[in-house]
Structure 1
Amino acid sequence: MYVHSTEEDSTTHYSALDQMTDNSFQVLEHHSKDSFMLTLASGILSDEQFYIILLFIHYTSQLINNCAIIANSLSIAVFVKLGFSEPSNISLTALAICDFTLAVLLTWNNLCIWLTYHNVRLPFHSANVYFLTGGFQWAFLSTTVAWITAFISFERCLCILVPLKVRRLITPRSTFVAMLIIILLTFCPSFFTYIRYKLVWEFNPYLNITILNTIPVNSEFAILFEKIYIVICGVIQPLLAFSIVLICTVLLVVQLRKMSSWRMSVTSAKNQRVQSDEIPASSSSAAKARISQKEERLVRMVVAIATIFIVSYIPTCIVALCDVVFDEFHLFGVYRKLFMVSGSIITLGQPISGSVNILIYYKMASKFRSVFRRLVRLDRQEPERHELE
């Protein structure tokens, strides 16, 4: 938002987005067939109300981002100290790195919104430049987080259902390769955005200077290509990952109940053997019970991570569906205000999830808790390098 002074009002605010798309917006208004959505897009909120809501969301988001940056930095440091002899450490580290990067991208986004609203004059259009240098990257990286969470949930399901076969397949090397493939297929396509949009230097009449701005490339190929990869990478991929996480979480919860019932039966059998002086059998059952408890703690941790992800990712899925149903639901369309507000709202979920994960690790993973306490100087005893329990 820039300030343009006139004799009538020296403090009239102009939306940075409106300056760039005034003409295209008027054309789209005449061609829009959805009067209800058009009313929501342009009739309810004034520019000032729109930016006040946007600023409130982004200030709240930044508070959460700060927590996410600190929490994921600590998580990465702890996992590095734990080592990567176990596949779960590798996948959880990749998740923490992605959550950390998401928080950094959101910080850049919030800074751009703040600069735009407070009329900080820079040689680039802050809000629109972020759209191409951080907005798309954040959207695709959130899909990466979704698939890493899906991999963690699916791997844990297989470890419970077919443990002997999975342990030969899910190794540290195969997990590392899987993380690279997920990043390649989910995050790297974000760079295809530069086929549809580009950064250019253009003259801004309100500031009377040339600034760096983002403009759409309106060729038929660019438009068609954007529709294809947005549907595949922006809708199908996140919805499929969300479905996998949801299904695996339900299976894990069901399996948790079975494991709890089995442990109770083992404990009962152990007590009977003790009473009948069957010491060897009692020791064997106790060992199995301990293994079951360790496995159950890891499963509970994965269920907690997946549940938080599901809750925080639902708004993202809704926005992704709207992006397909409504052709003008994007930054340069009629529904751009709704797009920006809804896009800002969904950014609250990801840093919350990234901030809470460290609390789950600390509560449910004894080795993580031990190394963490040593890292922040709460314990004096040096922890051993060990896999995550």
Structure 2
Amino acid sequence: MSRLQVWQDQSKDPSVYTPATGFLNDRQFGIILLALLSISQLCSVVAIISNSLNITVFVRLGFSEPSNISLVALAASDLACVVLSIWTNSCYLLRSMDVRLPFDATNVSFLTGSAPWAFISRTVAWITAFISFERCLCILVPLKVKKLITSKSTFTAMIIIVIFTCFPFLYVVLRNRFAWIFYPYLNATILDVVPIDNENFIQIGYIVVVCCGVIQPLLAFFIVLMCTIFLVITLKKLSSWRKSVTSAKSQWQHKPGENPASNSPPAQDRMSQKEKRLVRMVVAIAAIFIVSYTPTCIMLVFSVIFDEFTYFGVYKRMYIVCGLATFFTQTVSGGVNILIYYNMASKFRSALRSILCLDLQEKEK
């Protein structure tokens, strides 16, 4: 028997290998898994429809406004994540129902589903960070931002983000390979994923895990969090200034000698109504992202602190449950963005209603 078959047999044959259970027994793990997978699949269908509509609307609106480019990239990344999560969840569902497949559902879905999903989810995080940072620049340097943030520079930034976040996936592809393996306990040959034993790959793997698996997503999360806090504070200041001006106007009506115009806002608070709506929309997108991405960050921190909290560790089942939970939260996050755009962007609302022929239906009524 070859070395490859020994490794595979030890990881598959229930007489040799006892899966780690951690805190969950078979029944608990099965119930949680089935519930998470079922809900995620339903939400994924909705997310595919909503993100497809987002892309269609923003493409119709055109790319004269740089923000449309980043929002299309965000919707496309969300859509890719949803498609990958559907594939991964389907494999786990079939595995949980003991459906006989010509491939190993867990390992194949890892290489073709959950692994690329993890890298593309980093893309979502960094695009959200870019959108948030762009709004901060519009407030801090409003006169220079139009020269800095153009359609061309935004498109270039999106390409750089995709390369920066997804290029390390090449390591995962090179580190593993597909192979047809015969398993005696199944009495069948099935397609599986086999890791390549190479010292260089192992050393590079540590760098990829730390940089791309921990530092990269946590840094993006921190940028979004800081930018969102800054934008919320700015909006509150602007609201306070508006109230003070309104109060000053009412006093000036009784005291003609005073001029409320002297109480002018700071430079960063002088925004048009269009800019204010855009800032509020970005804050809403960022806030939903923060809520949905927090479980991912917690999971990453735990995987660093506890060595056994991995796919191959003692707490494998807890790791799988947490991983599928992050699929669910980020799928919901990508799916509800259409509601934010519809309620806060009049051009988006008009274009969407036109695509869905809602205005024509109202006229016919």
TM-score under structure 2 normalisation? 0.86
Report Cα offsets for 1:257-292 as digits up to 9, x if no partner: 12223444566778869x98xxxx9xxx9xxx9962
Distance in structure 2 (CA, Å) of the matches to 1:374 and 1:17? 59
**CA distance 1:17–1:293, change in 2 (3 Å):** farther
Distance in structure 1 (CA, Å) of the matches to 2:314 and 2:214? 21
> Which residue number corresponds to residue 298 of structure 1?
278
Aligned-pair CA distance for 1:118: 1.9
2:11 and 2:17 in contact (8 A); partners too: no
Report Cα offsets for 1:264-321 as digits up to 9, x if no partner: 4566778869x98xxxx9xxx9xxx996222111111000000000011011001111
Match of 2:12 among 7, 13, 19: 19
Aligned-pair CA distance for 1:222: 2.1
**CA distance 1:267–1:249, change in 2 (3 Å):** same
> Which residue number corresponds to residue 187 of structure 2?
208
1:312 and 1:353 in contact (8 A); partners too: yes
> Which residue number corresponds to residue 314 of structure 1?
294
> Which residue number corresponds to residue 3 of structure 2?
none
TM-score under structure 1 normalisation? 0.81
**CA distance 1:23–1:177, change in 2 (3 Å):** farther
Aligned-pair CA distance for 1:172: 0.5
> Which residue number corresponds to residue 36 of structure 1?
none
**CA distance 1:43–1:331, change in 2 (3 Å):** closer
Distance in structure 2 (CA, Å) of the matches to 1:21 and 1:229? 32
**CA distance 1:111–1:47, change in 2 (3 Å):** same
Report Cα offsets for 1:1-40 as digits up to 9, x if no partner: xxxxxxxxxxxxxxx99626985768xxxxxxxxxxxxxx
> Which residue number corresponds to residue 156 of structure 1?
135
- Trace 1:364-375 onto structure 2 (pairs within 5 A): 364-375=344-355
> Which residue number corresponds to residue 340 of structure 1?
320
The secondary structure found in structure 2 opposite 1:334 is: coil
**CA distance 1:81–1:166, change in 2 (3 Å):** same
Report the more deviating stretch, 122-131 or 364-373. 122-131
Distance in structure 1 (CA, Å) of the matches to 2:305 and 2:333? 28
| 1:193 lines up with 2:186 in the alignment | no
Report the more deviating stretch, 51-60 or 307-316. 51-60
> Which residue number corresponds to residue 135 of structure 1?
114
One-letter identity of the residue aligned with 1:111: S
Distance in structure 1 (CA, Å) of the matches to 2:93 and 2:125? 29
**CA distance 1:290–1:257, change in 2 (3 Å):** closer
The secondary structure found in structure 2 opposite 1:213 is: strand
One-letter identity of the residue aligned with 1:154: F
- Trace 1:60-209 onto structure 2 (pairs within 5 A): 60-209=39-188
Report the more deviating stretch, 105-114 or 192-201. 192-201
> Which residue number corresponds to residue 333 of structure 2?
353
1:25 and 1:334 in contact (8 A); partners too: no
1:102 and 1:141 in contact (8 A); partners too: yes
Distance in structure 1 (CA, Å) of the matches to 2:270 and 2:354? 26
| 1:232 lines up with 2:211 in the alignment | yes
The secondary structure found in structure 2 opposite 1:121 is: coil
Aligned-pair CA distance for 1:366: 0.5
> Which residue number corresponds to residue 376 of structure 1?
356
Aligned-pair CA distance for 1:122: 2.0
One-letter identity of the residue aligned with 1:366: S
> Which residue number corresponds to residue 33 of structure 1?
none
> Which residue number corresponds to residue 6 of structure 1?
none
**What CA RMSD, in Å, does the superposition of the two structures yield over aligned residues?**
2.6
**CA distance 1:360–1:347, change in 2 (3 Å):** same
Distance in structure 2 (CA, Å) of the matches to 1:149 and 1:21? 44
Aligned-pair CA distance for 1:183: 0.4
The secondary structure found in structure 1 opposite 2:162 is: helix
The secondary structure found in structure 2 opposite 1:164 is: coil
Distance in structure 1 (CA, Å) of the matches to 2:337 and 2:74? 10
One-letter identity of the residue aligned with 1:315: P
Distance in structure 2 (CA, Å) of the matches to 1:140 and 1:21? 32
Distance in structure 1 (CA, Å) of the matches to 2:291 and 2:136? 20
Distance in structure 2 (CA, Å) of the matches to 1:265 and 1:334? 60
One-letter identity of the residue aligned with 1:346: T
Distance in structure 1 (CA, Å) of the matches to 2:328 and 2:231? 27
Aligned-pair CA distance for 1:120: 2.1
**CA distance 1:166–1:337, change in 2 (3 Å):** same
1:319 and 1:342 in contact (8 A); partners too: yes
**CA distance 1:267–1:299, change in 2 (3 Å):** same
> Which residue number corresponds to residue 307 of structure 2?
327
Report Cα offsets for 1:330-357 as digits up to 9, x if no partner: 3233322121111111111101111111
1:153 and 1:245 in contact (8 A); partners too: yes
